């Protein structure tokens, strides 16, 4: 069959890039299809948990080579600016998605085929896939990996269940010049959402917030929302008054959904946000994207070493492994988000965490994994 690859990966965010790099390193004929050229900015908090470092090292990806900031402290404030502080046992680093995704791309471009196009259709028939792009190219593969992020045209095409449910969240992100410690990631609450601050490799501070559409709608525009709602928190008030924007205008995304998804659909192995999105306040979505790519790749190699290969068994094993690894983290993320966004529960939560300081680090631990071997 012409145009046949071993594996087609749809989406070149961290999940797709990690899987592509690992599979290509093991001589798989991989084709990655991504709709945007690199480098590009993305709406993201840009704090990455250190749990990914051993795996990144094994792939030859070094975030510190481009100046990523080492982060070891966490600070959280309630809507009125009452602060709690904790040290991060595992820690993390601050790097823009512009630089981070591009590090992977620069390594991958010499090892795998990369096509810049939007996938419109994926069909599975007689044990193989055909993938059609916007430019009407049709490619074939034995396996397809879905790494197309939290919400894609392909979710509609595949008629995924979560697309029928409400998605009442939006997010805004921009880089600023502002005096902020290199070693800290902060999470400041406001009515209807929360805003993360951390430094990136360029010394710019990334400010990224998630808000309910309902709370945003009252102000209707980003400037007004920041001035009237976010600035009720004194930390955010100081930030938005003093910080100098670097972007011409902030990046925005809407219709963010945290509903449950399936890790395998229509025989497509879903990685990263395509399989499930953790609440951003956990600061662990990128590590989960990288970890899901690791889980898939190692399982894939193992399955191929056996003399008889069973596709359905591989799908079941991946789904079970994915749930075993991430279901609890997603549940804890949902729980923390519910507490933070409920004024009464949040007040009680902050009071408890003040009296029992070990609560905060324990909660952080429950949303993170251990270092990836």
Ligand X SMILES: Cc1cc2nc3c(=O)[nH]c(=O)nc-3n(C[C@H](O)[C@H](O)[C@H](O)COP(=O)(O)OP(=O)(O)OC[C@H]3O[C@@H](n4cnc5c(N)ncnc54)[C@H](O)[C@@H]3O)c2cc1C
Give contact residues for ligand X (rule: CB under 6 A): 10-16, 33-36, 43-48, 118-119, 147-149, 152-154, 171, 196, 208, 210, 256, 272-274, 280, 283-287, 289
Give me the least distance between CB of 281 and ligand X, in Å please. Answer: 8
Alpha carbon 371 to chain centroid, angstroms: 17
Task: Find the helix packing angle between 311-341 and 285-305, rounded to 10°.
Answer: 170
Select 67 or 347, whichever has its Cβ closest to ligand X.
Answer: 67
Which pair of structure tokens corresponds to residue 248?
Answer: 């011409």
Pairing mode of beta strands 30-34, 47-49: unpaired
Pairing mode of beta strands 69-77, 83-94: antiparallel
Select 49 or 79, whichever has its Cβ closest to ligand X.
Answer: 49
Q: What DSSP element (H or E) covers 121?
A: strand 119-125
Pairing mode of beta strands 138-146, 268-270: parallel
- The span from the CA of 334 to the CA of 276, in Å, is 12
- The span from the CA of 118 to the CA of 251, in Å, is 20
Select 79 or 171, whichever has its Cβ closest to ligand X.
Answer: 171
φ, ψ of residue 213 to 5 degrees: the values are: -60, -35
Select 79 or 277, whichever has its Cβ closest to ligand X.
Answer: 277
Helices marked H in 143-203 — which ranges?
153-157
Give me the least distance between CB of 43 and ligand X, in Å please. Answer: 6
Give me the least distance between CB of 287 and ligand X, in Å please. Answer: 6
Select 10 or 204, whichever has its Cβ closest to ligand X.
Answer: 10
- Interacting residues of 257 by C-beta distance below 8 A, sequence separation 6+: 150, 151, 162, 163, 165, 166, 167, 169, 277
**Which residue is associated with the tokens 């631990």?**
365
Select 353 or 367, whichever has its Cβ closest to ligand X.
Answer: 367
- The span from the CA of 189 to the CA of 60, in Å, is 37
Select 134 or 351, whichever has its Cβ closest to ligand X.
Answer: 134
Select 250 or 285, whichever has its Cβ closest to ligand X.
Answer: 285
Select 50 or 284, whichever has its Cβ closest to ligand X.
Answer: 284
Detail the DSSP E strand segments found in 40-112.
47-49, 69-77, 83-94
Give me the least distance between CB of 46 and ligand X, in Å please. Answer: 6
Give me the least distance between CB of 306 and ligand X, in Å please. Answer: 29
- The span from the CA of 259 to the CA of 249, in Å, is 29
- Interacting residues of 356 by C-beta distance below 8 A, sequence separation 6+: none
With residues binned 3-state (H G I as helix, E B as strand, rest as coil), the percentages for the chain, rounded to 5, are: 40, 30, 30
């Amino acid at each position: 069959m012409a145009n046949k690859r071993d594996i087609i990966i749809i989406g070149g965010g961290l999940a797709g890039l990690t899987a592509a790099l690992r599979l290509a390193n093991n001589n798989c004929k991989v084709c990655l299809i991504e709709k945007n050229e690199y480098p590009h900015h993305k709406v993201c908090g840009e704090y990455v948990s250190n749990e990914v470092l051993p795996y990144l090292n094994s792939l030859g990806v070094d975030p510190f080579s481009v100046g990523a900031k080492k982060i070891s402290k966490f600070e959280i404030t309630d809507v009125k600016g009452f602060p709690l502080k904790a040290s991060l046992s595992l820690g993390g680093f601050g790097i823009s998605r512009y630089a981070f995704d591009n590090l992977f791309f620069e390594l991958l471009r010499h090892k795998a085929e990369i096509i810049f196009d939007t996938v419109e259709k994926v069909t599975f028939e007689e044990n193989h896939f055909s993938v059609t792009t916007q430019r009407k190219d049709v490619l074939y593969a034995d396996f397809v990996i879905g790494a197309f992020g939290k919400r894609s045209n392909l979710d509609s095409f595949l008629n995924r269940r979560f697309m029928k449910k409400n998605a009442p969240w939006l997010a805004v992100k921009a880089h600023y010049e502002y005096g902020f410690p290199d070693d800290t990631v902060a999470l400041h609450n406001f009515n209807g959402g929360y805003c993360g601050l951390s430094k990136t490799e360029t010394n710019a501070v990334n400010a990224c917030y998630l808000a309910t559409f309902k709370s945003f709608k009252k102000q209707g525009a980003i400037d007004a929302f920041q001035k009237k709602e976010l600035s009720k928190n004194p930390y955010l008030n100081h930030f938005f008054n003093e910080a100098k924007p670097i972007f011409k205008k902030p990046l925005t995304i809407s219709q963010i959904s945290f509903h449950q998804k399936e890790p395998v659909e229509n025989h497509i192995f879903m990685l990263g946000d395509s399989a499930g999105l953790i609440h951003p306040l956990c600061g662990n979505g990128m590590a989960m994207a990288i970890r899901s790519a690791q889980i898939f790749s190692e399982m894939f190699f193992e399955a191929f070493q056996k003399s008889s290969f069973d596709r359905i068994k591989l799908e079941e094993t991946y789904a079970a492994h994915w749930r075993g690894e991430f279901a609890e983290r997603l549940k804890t993320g949902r729980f923390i988000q519910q507490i933070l966004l409920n004024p009464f529960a949040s007040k009680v939560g902050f009071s408890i965490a003040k009296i029992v300081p070990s609560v905060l680090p324990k909660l952080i631990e429950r949303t993170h994994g251990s270092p990836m071997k």
